[in-house]
Chain A
Amino acid sequence: MRFARTQLRNDAWAEDAVSESLLAALERPQSFHGHSQLKTWLVGILKHKVVDQLRRHTREATILVGDDGEDLDEALFLADGHWRNAPHDWGDPDAACSRRQFFDVLQVCCDQLPPVQARVFMMREWLELDSDEICAELSISTSNLWVLLHRARLRLRDCLQLRWFGEASASA
């Protein structure tokens, strides 16, 4: 449910996607072969249903422009092209991946992205759609997609620095 909600940014659509997935699973239990965990199988179905919902509601999602107005680069770089604040050393960040809390922070950071950036980022990283599919779904050009992903990654990096690595280095 959380997965669907993050992706769709709309509780009603998310509930529809989850309900449709469960129905599909109940109708075709024979397609579950026990090779994968039950949950993995259900999430696989859910991904398809989420894409269906996105397709259905693309027309309603007219928010593609306008939420990314501010120039992120200006905030990060000086006029001469140097970092305003040099990126911090994150030390051995992979230790974080074994901690549940870290994923909660990542979730919060994704939730805070401007809606369109969040959507393309999740389509890319969670639904594992390729660029062409995402562009087709959202009717945007490839270069638009790159700009959106570019900004999303910069913002996520900032957010992780602030909410995870900032704290970690402060307590070290």
Chain B
Amino acid sequence: MKNTLTCREAARLLLEDEEHDIGAAERVALQVHVKICFACERFVAQLNFMRRATKAWRKHSETDGEDERPE
């Protein structure tokens, strides 16, 4: 079983996972990689944060953000 991903492959899978479910084998390989790789672990944290931040941004702009008024 090939479970040694490079960081580049891991990053690609992580980004794919944002859009659609990746395969089970890929998920296992990914989890193994992220456990042993501090850089990719940080990348995961960054992606998670970006997801939360975009949501917060959308909410901010839709409710209490002050838009410029069109004249």
Query: Are the C-beta atoms of A87 and B68 separated by less than 8 Å?
Result: no
Q: Which of B9, B15, B70 contacts A154 (CB 8 A)?
A: B15
**Using a CB-CB cutoff of 8 Å, which residues 115-132 of chain A contact chain B?**
125-126, 131
The range of chain A's interface size is 35 or more
Q: Name A152's closest neighbour in chain B (CB-CB).
A: B15
Chain B contact residues: over half helix, strand or loop, or mixed? helix
**Using a CB-CB cutoff of 8 Å, which residues 26-85 of chain A contact chain B?**
37, 39-40, 43, 73, 76-77, 80-83
Binding site for A on B (CB under 8 A): 6-9, 11-12, 15-16, 18-20, 38-40, 42-43, 45-47, 49-50, 52-54, 56-58, 60-63, 65, 67-70
Given contacts A80-B6, A90-B45, 7 further A-B contacts (CB under 8 A): A43-B61, A43-B62, A87-B42, A93-B46, A96-B53, A97-B56, A157-B50
In angstroms, Cα B18 to Cα A73, docked, is 18
In angstroms, Cα B38 to Cα A51, docked, is 41
Q: For the complex, is A163 an interface residue (Cβ under 8 Å from B)?
A: no
Given contacts A2-B68, A18-B70, contact A81 B8 (CB under 8 A): yes
Query: Are the C-beta atoms of B46 and A90 separated by less than 8 Å?
Result: yes
Query: Are the C-beta atoms of B67 and A2 separated by less than 8 Å?
Result: yes
Query: Are the C-beta atoms of B61 and A146 separated by less than 8 Å?
Result: no
Measured between beta carbons, the chain A residues less than 8 angstroms from B20 are 131, 146
Query: Which of B52, B58, B62 is most buried by chain A, counting CB atoms within 10 A of its CB?
Result: B62
In angstroms, Cα B28 to Cα A171, docked, is 39
Measured between beta carbons, the chain A residues less than 8 angstroms from B65 are 103
Query: Which of A1, A83, A88, A131 is most buried by chain B, counting CB atoms within 10 A of its CB?
Result: A83
Measured between beta carbons, the chain A residues less than 8 angstroms from B19 are 131, 145-146, 149-150
Chain A positions 148 through 169: 1 when the CB is less than 8 Å from some CB of chain B, otherwise 0: 0110011011001000000000
Q: Which of A37, A87, A145, A150 contacts B46 (CB 8 A)?
A: A87
In angstroms, Cα B67 to Cα A64, docked, is 29
Query: Are the C-beta atoms of A153 and B18 separated by less than 8 Å?
Result: yes
Q: Which of B15, B40, B63 contacts A150 (CB 8 A)?
A: B15
